[in-house]
Amino acid sequence: MSNEIAVIGVGMHPWGKWGKNFVEYGVKAARDALKDAGISWKDIDYISGAATMRCGYPGYVAGATFAQALGWQGAEVNTSYAACASGSQALAAAKAKILAGEAECALVVGADTTPKGFLAPAKGYRPDDPDWVRFHIGITNPTYFALYARRRMDVYGDTLADFAAVKVKNAKHGSTNPYARYKKCFTAEDVAASNMVANPLRLMDICATSDGGAAVIVCSAAFAKKIGKSDAVRVAAISTVTPTFAGEIIEMPDIATDSAVACDAVRFRAQLPIKAYEEAGIGPEDISLAEVYDLSTALEMDWYEDLQLCARGEAAQLVRNGDTTLGGRIPVNVSGGLACFGEAVPAQALAQICELTWQLRGQAGNRQVENAKVGITANQGLFGHGSSVILKK
């Protein structure tokens, strides 16, 4: 189709706490993607970087930073920032450039070096920064996730055992992933024995922060044909829609990062895949697997419903049935998800693309989903940013 682009190369740097410059991770991922694509660095005519706010000025201009590190060769550059959705925003910029006929082949790359502990907003008195405000009054990310988890328990009857089962599933999936930071399998008892962080979520219900990098090379259909890759995996849709309020807005503008009230945050997440499904011309029944943004175990379950993999309130039943496990009806986070990787913010949306590409090519090894044909991703960024990407075989 005319609105699709080809994925001809993917690459990653293993996640961990390496403490090195983020550029090193991105360069490694980019070189692996070039090798995977079988093309020269000089074939790239557009470099789209996902920004990192924690690594100084080079992180703010990530596109140019990676272009310089790989060797100036005249390509155009772009840098996109959307917090956890930065990678997909950078991919969207590359897609638009290619479909406009202004580029043939683009490198999309993101990498991060993260400090220990919570990912805090910029220092100083910032009452106009929604993240600063919520942190200031005690709503750190784990607290934010806990509110969503408590809502699932109160509204749908989900249990702590359901949340723990998500962690156990993802840990098993990621245990054989060479790029994952955590490769240990856990039991429900291990989850229950971990420290309470924000009731009802325990330490093992919440993802860590990590260093890491990921890169994707995309191109026009004509370029893919020219290099003998007409059958390459395709990006069929990228959705980056913002929230829509159904009725009167309750004025709480400085509390939530993605909407004025929590119920509209749920609505926002649901809108992201709807737009992607429409653009790709498919429905949730066509999805073979999903990679979603599991900042917490309960949040992963929200995504099942937002992606319409089941009806509202039925996510826990999917977990109990084993439907979202490798070999189940609709495997979710067979990479291990953030539970096994942790957050390397500008890289994680691209890491999802890497995993889906390997799956659709049949190159995922022990994680391989049988007969995978269509994959979907989901990410929630800050202050109205989010993304959902669909890849087709």
Provide the CATH number for the domain around residue 58: 3.40.47.10
Domain count, the chain: 1
Give me 275's structure tokens.
């737009």
178 lies in some domain = no
Please report the DSSP string for 309-322 in residue order.
SS-TT-HHHHHHHT
Tell whether 202 is covered by a domain: no
Average pLDDT over residues 66-82: 97
Q: pLDDT: is 12 or 126 the higher one?
A: 12
CA nearest to 351, candidates 368, 335, 366: 335
Rounded-to-integer distance, Cα 229 and Cα 7, Å: 9
Q: What is the pLDDT of residues 52-65, one digit of tens each?
A: 988 999 999 999 99
Q: Which of 84-93, 122-131, 190-199, 291-300 has the lowest mean pLDDT?
A: 122-131
Per-residue pLDDT of 212-259, as tens digits, reads 999 999 999 999 999 999 999 999 999 998 877 655 444 444 444 444
Long-range contacts of 242-246 (CB under 8 A, 24+ apart): 242/268, 242/384, 242/385, 243/267, 243/268, 243/271, 243/384, 244/268, 244/271
Cis, bond preceding 127 (omega within 30 deg of 0): no
pLDDT of residue 266: 59
* 296, burial (CB in 10 Å: exposed 0-12, middle 13-18, buried 19+): buried
Task: Render pLDDT for 273-288 as a digit per residue (tens, 0 to 9).
Answer: 999 999 999 999 999 9
The parent domain of residue 252 ranges over 5-118+209-392
Q: Is residue 151 part of a domain?
A: no
Residue with tokens 């990678």, as numbered in its chain? 87
Whether 129 is in a domain gets the answer: no
Q: How many angstroms separate the CA atoms of 192 and 200, rounded?
A: 10
Give mean pLDDT, residues 125-153. 87
